Structure 1
Amino acid sequence: MKVLVIPEDPTRDQFILKPIVEALFADLGRKARIEVLQDPHLRGTSEALDKKTIEGIVAENPMEDLFLLMVDRDGDRLGNSFQAAGREADHPHRLIACLAIEEVEVWMLALHRRELGTPWSEVRAHHDPKEHYADPFLRQKGWLMQVGGGRKRAMQGLGTQWQALLTVCPELKDLRDRLRTWLDRTPA
């Protein structure tokens, strides 16, 4: 199975998204080749949720079995939930969308939530957790100058914390359940 992850910007997000999608497929007992879209190099949710952009990506990648559109919800200030549902409706058998509450960096932070010194509910509720929590955390750890702005290093504990991540980030549990349903309808 070939899976293409569509991020809002692969520059740093790929270091969070690829290991999460790999863990999703491992959890479901399915082998998949996971790639994160690099070309076109999207910049922001407005591009990643754009109808014509997604149509072009799907058309240009006919060998992909599944597209996972994984972007920030960003407080739903610009209607990201509505737009993501629209992209799924445009490609009902090939695309599944998952919006990070509120940014994909929260999924990374979930692996380190006990170190943050802030109640997890506050991190999850903050509209700008990347700037308010993730960047300061990565700077404090001395990882900011590493690969992916420290995201690759910060994701290293994913394997042992997968089930906990599904618990504290229910949108990922929902994605897993939706992916399971999709896989059940798709030949191995």
Structure 2
Amino acid sequence: MRNALHSMRFFEVWLLAGHDLPKDWGWQDVRSHEHPKEAYYRPFAKSRGVLEEPAEGRGVLAKEAASRYARIRSLCPEVAALEARLEA
């Protein structure tokens, strides 16, 4: 539960769930890292060439990730739980 709550605070984790990550990154490592934005999001955004864009490229990468929303729901069960709460 701690990992889910920890990840829930970080939009960047959800955003990364919608992308194919580097092969040497483990998904559970991303989710459980104390500082996923610094350790994973920023290097990913830099590798995609969007780190210098407004909001460090979150808008660009979020639009791409949104096209894979089912993947985000699958990898981040708290997203599906939040969706269910909003629909109730």
TM-score by length of 1: 0.41
Shift of 1:143: 0.4
Higher strand share: 1
Identity %: 32
Question: 2:38 matched to 1:131?
Answer: yes
* Offset at residue 116 of structure 1 (A): 2.6
Deviation of the 1:100 alpha carbon:
6.0
Matches within 5 A, 1:31-50: none
Bigger radius of gyration: 1
Show the counterpart of 2:82: 175
State whether residues 100 and 106 of structure 1, in contact with CA within 8 Å, keep that contact through their aligned partners in structure 2.
no
Distance 1:174 1:120, change over 3 A: same
In structure 1, the gaps of 5 or more residues are 1-74, 77-98, 182-188
Partner amino acid, structure 2, of 1:116: P
8 Å CA contact retained: 1:147, 1:153: no
Instruction: Show the counterpart of 1:153.
Output: 60
Question: Is residue 106–residue 130 contact of structure 1 (8 Å, CA) maintained in 2?
Answer: yes
More displaced 10-residue stretch of structure 1: 126-135 or 101-110: 101-110
Question: When you count helix as a share of all residues, which structure comes out higher?
Answer: 2
- Higher normalized contact order (CA 8 Å, seq sep 6+, divided by chain length): 2
Q: CA RMSD in A?
A: 1.9
- Secondary structure at the aligned position of 2:39 is classed as helix
Q: Distance in 2 between matches of 1:160 and 1:129?
A: 22
Q: Give the whole-Å Cα distance in 1 for the aligned partners of 2:30 and 2:66.
A: 22
The alignment status of 1:116 with 2:36, answered yes or no, reads no
- Preserved CA contact (<8 Å) 2:16 2:65: no
Q: Please, which moves more after superposition, 125-134 or 151-160?
A: 151-160
Give structure 2 stretches of 5+ with no counterpart.
Answer: none
How many residues align structurally?
A: 84
Provide closer, same or farther for how the CA distance between residues 146 and 116 of structure 1 changes in structure 2, counting only shifts above 3 A.
same
